[in-house]
Amino acid sequence: MRSPIEFNYDGPRPSIPRGIRIGSVPYLNAVPLTWGLEREIVFLPPSQLGLAIREGELDVALLSITQVLFEDRYRIIDGMGVCSRGPVRSVFLAHSDPLEEIKEVYCDPASLTSVNLLRVLLHRRGIHPNWRMLDSYDSAPDHRNVLLIGNPAIRFRSPRARHTIWDLGKAWDEEMHLPFVYAVWVVRKEITDAKLFAKLRKAKDKGLENLDRIATNYPEFDGPFRQKYLTQNIHYHIGEDEKRGIDRFTHELRHFPDLKVYDPEFIASM
């Protein structure tokens, strides 16, 4: 049985242009956090972002929350993140087998957080499948049980889909009665640039002011979906409830002996 902690993107990583020290993900749900900063940011899948900031190529990155909890080298910039309370629509298990009969899951390699969120939710039901890494998004419909995140997950959804969709944001909320935080802005612990933090805060504020514009102009998916997704499924503020959600996720991860989990450390954004 392969542990989900081993799932990392190991393909070639594009070179980061000189002067670019901020990284984010190329997904619709992150657009409001980077409004107006697009030319100052490199966009990479979550696991590639983790490698880039770990190797010192970036100062700040929008990382999956699990990457922060598994490495004692970052601080979370307070107040900002990609969160949901209830259905998230872009993080789900598409399954053909009944949940209680699942023996094998193919996992999106882009994000450790979704894999370990699924691991927690199944563990609480006494379900311990074998974990496989999905080799390509094109092959996703061919597998009986597949975990997908972000834009590839949204593209997978279809009225003609043969799979049952188990929305992990909804499942977490029903189980824990707390929001789930998928991604956060993090900095390496030696970075203390208040101007950088303020810049990210301003981008988030401007992005939230322009949600309708983002929903109208984003090039993928239909307009009604984009509008509902950005205004009802996703929210971008980390407050006390979201921190309790992170704490509960941290607690649940510590049930797995193969995981070393650290307490999150926050730094004020202003």
**Residue 103 confidence (pLDDT):** 96
Same domain flag for 79 and 195: yes
- How confident is the model over 208-261, as pLDDT tens digits? 999 999 999 998 898 899 999 999 999 999 999 999 999 999 999 999 999 999
User: Which two tokens mark 91?
Assistant: 């993080």
Same domain flag for 222 and 95: no
**Residue 111 confidence (pLDDT):** 73
Same domain flag for 23 and 143: no
Helices (H) and strands (E) in the chain, counts: 9, 12
Same domain flag for 142 and 97: yes
User: Which two tokens mark 189?
Assistant: 């612990």
**Residue 9 confidence (pLDDT):** 45
CATH number at residue 156: 3.40.190.10
Q: How confident is the model at residue 157 (pLDDT cuts 50, 70, 90)?
A: confident
User: Is 113 in contact with 182 (CB distance < 8 Å)?
Assistant: yes
**Residue 241 confidence (pLDDT):** 98
Exposed, middle or buried, 194 (CB in 10 Å: 0-12/13-18/19+)?
Answer: exposed
The DSSP symbol for 211 reads: H
Higher pLDDT, 212 or 19: 212
Q: Is the pLDDT of residue 1 over 80?
A: no
Same domain flag for 231 and 261: yes
Q: How confident is the model at residue 270 (pLDDT cuts 50, 70, 90)?
A: low
Same domain flag for 103 and 34: no
The domain boundary residue, chosen from 176, 191, 206: 176
**Residue 14 confidence (pLDDT):** 66
pTM of the model: 0.91
CA dist 47 and 50 (Å) reads: 5
Same domain flag for 70 and 101: no
Tell me, yes or no, whether 1 lies in a domain: no
**Residue 158 confidence (pLDDT):** 67
Tell me, yes or no, whether 6 lies in a domain: no
Same domain flag for 165 and 230: no
Same domain flag for 170 and 217: no
The domain boundary residue, chosen from 176, 200, 233: 176
> What is the helix (H) or strand (E) element at residue 180, kind and residue range?
strand 180-188
Residue 139 backbone zone (phi > 0: left; psi -120 to 50: alpha; other: beta): alpha
Residues written for the chain: 270
- How confident is the model over 89-101, as pLDDT tens digits? 999 999 999 999 9
Same domain flag for 109 and 149: yes
Dihedral angle at the C-alpha atoms of 8, 133, 26, 191, nearest 10 degrees? -20
Same domain flag for 161 and 207: no
Tell me, yes or no, whether 2 lies in a domain: no
Residue 111 backbone zone (phi > 0: left; psi -120 to 50: alpha; other: beta): beta
Share of the chain above pLDDT 90, in %: 76
- How confident is the model over 171-212, as pLDDT tens digits? 999 999 999 999 999 999 988 888 999 999 999 999 999 999
Higher pLDDT, 269 or 93: 93
| DSSP conformation letters of 86-125 | S--SSEEEEESS-GGG--EEEE-TT-HHHHHHHHHHHHTT
The domain boundary residue, chosen from 134, 158, 176: 176
**Residue 129 confidence (pLDDT):** 96
Tell me, yes or no, whether 52 lies in a domain: yes
Tell me, yes or no, whether 129 lies in a domain: yes
**Residue 71 confidence (pLDDT):** 93
Residue type, 174: E
Across the range 15-37, mean pLDDT stands at 89
Among candidate residues 68, 72, 39, 70, the one with its CA nearest the CA of residue 186: 68
Same domain flag for 149 and 103: yes
> What is the helix (H) or strand (E) element at residue 184, kind and residue range?
strand 180-188
**Residue 46 confidence (pLDDT):** 80
CA dist 82 and 194 (Å) reads: 21
Which residues make beta-bridge pairs with 148? 92
Tell me, yes or no, whether 5 lies in a domain: no
- How confident is the model over 34-73, as pLDDT tens digits? 999 999 999 998 878 888 999 999 999 999 999 999 999 9
The structural domain count of the chain equals 2
Tell me, yes or no, whether 106 lies in a domain: yes
CA dist 151 and 197 (Å) reads: 27
Q: What are the C-alpha distances in Å from 59 to residues 88, 185, 190, 264?
A: 29, 10, 9, 18
Across the range 140-152, mean pLDDT stands at 93
Q: Is the pLDDT of residue 11 over 60?
A: no
Tell me, yes or no, whether 4 lies in a domain: no
Domain ranges, residue 129: 91-176
